[in-house]
Amino acid sequence: MKKYILFLLTLFCLRAIGQEIPLKYYLDRALDNNPALKENSNLKEIVDLQEKINLAQENAFKIDVTSELGVYPYINNNGRLVNISTNPSAKAFGYDVGITNGGLYSLQLNVTRNIFNQGILDNLRLKQKIERQSIALSSEEIRHNLIKNIADNFIIAYQYQLQTDLLERLLADLDIRLKVVELLVKKGLLSESDYMLLQLEINTRKLELSQVSTKYGDALAQLDNLAGIPLDSTQFHLGDPAIELSDAPQSYYYQRKFNNDSLMVATDQLVYENKYKPRIETYANTGLNAVELPNMYHKIGIGAGIRVAIPVFDGKQREKTAMQNELLRKNLLYYRQAADVKKQNSLIAIRKQLSDLTKNITDLEMQLEEQQKIIVIYKSKLVQGQVSIIDYLNVLQNYKMNEYALLQMKTNVQLLKNQFNYLNW
């Protein structure tokens, strides 16, 4: 509870004071709040408990109490319709006295334990170890996918934020131009239609700003949902995502996953073959075990023994199961080989796209610098009434479209870098 309150206070402070919220903020919240990661933490504890259960089943003393009361009467025994006896007549009807002795009165304490089963325990422990590794790999994949999704949504939201800032600057400049045009109309240097055209342009840009602001709000809401953060209407700014390309890891995730899955297939076979190992069980008991009531208290005793079970033939189930698991292992190998080629091709393709985009961004930035110079000239001529509003708006529109294109290119660079890092793992 204290941790949750601290988180809410941190969230409120960051947004309330108008700080830029970095990508890491959302990543940390998402990793803390993700239910799948919490579930995997519980699954790991379940595996730990299962290992203790296996140890208890295979290696611990088992103690139980059994009780049985059985009555086996004879019919028509020595003139009696129903009679319990250990010496029935030859004409009586009932179970053979050598089997039942007329009854069974038993109350025993039993102790059993498996011995010489270390191989069975080792196989079970190995399976638990591989299961823990599977859970760890699953958590790693969940975190990786979560980081990818959060970063993608953050980049898109950041793009809408930049578009909003761009439109607000454009509207501020147009408002200034509108006042200038109003003065020029009064002086007769521009017509009233010029003023109306500029006012129409301002209204159009305000509508566009409203639409982009809505998309920005939706993107922030999506970010909050992914990160498990309560929705908040406080105004704030996102920081630059600044995604950097990651270095190649020592081993890729899919390689580690293949190795672990292959080990899981192998350990499943080992655990399956546990039932073909000789089972040796020792036992001891004490208590009452009698077949007749007289002198029953003298029938209290003790006993001990050993049971051995050795599998002999199972219709070749063991061999066929091993063949099944070998086919499963081959299937895993096929997917690994396909993943090798796909990953390398994808990484090469993204590097080329990034190279092309970087060149296009450089060219477009140079073009925008020239357009800025032209806009300055047109502003000067507009004040002097030497150019029409239509010409000025056309120049401004071309500049705005190129700024949008530049913004989209830079966004694509960030998305491609994020995709590269997602694959280069």
Beta-carbon contacts of 339 under 8 Å, excluding residues fewer than 6 positions away, are 254
* pLDDT tens string 3-33: 444 444 454 445 444 578 999 999 999 999 9
SS3 70: strand
Q: Is residue 231 part of a domain?
A: yes
Range of the domain at 196: 11-60+117-276+316-423
Cα–Cα separations (whole angstroms), residue 36 to 41, 135, 138, 142, 147: 9, 11, 9, 7, 14
Instruction: Please count the structural domains in the chain.
Output: 1
Which portions of the chain are predicted below pLDDT 70?
1-18, 102, 233
Residue 287, in any domain of the structure = no
| CATH label of the domain that carries residue 212 | 1.20.1600.10
pTM above 0.85, yes or no: no
Q: d(Cα 185, Cα 178) in Å, to the nearest integer?
A: 10
Flag whether 153 is in a domain: yes
Spatial CB neighbours of 415, under 8 Å, sequence gap ≥ 6: 152, 155
Sign of CA dihedral 256, 257, 260, 263: negative
Residue 71 lies in a domain: no
Residue 398 within a domain: yes
pLDDT value of position 131: 97
Whether 338 maps to a domain, the answer reads yes
- CA dihedral 206→211→213→216, nearest 10 degrees, is -160
Find residue 113's DSSP bridge partners.
Answer: 282
Q: Assess if residue 1 is contained within a domain.
A: no
Is 78 inside a domain boundary?
no
pLDDT of residue 18: 58
pLDDT the model gives residue 269: 96
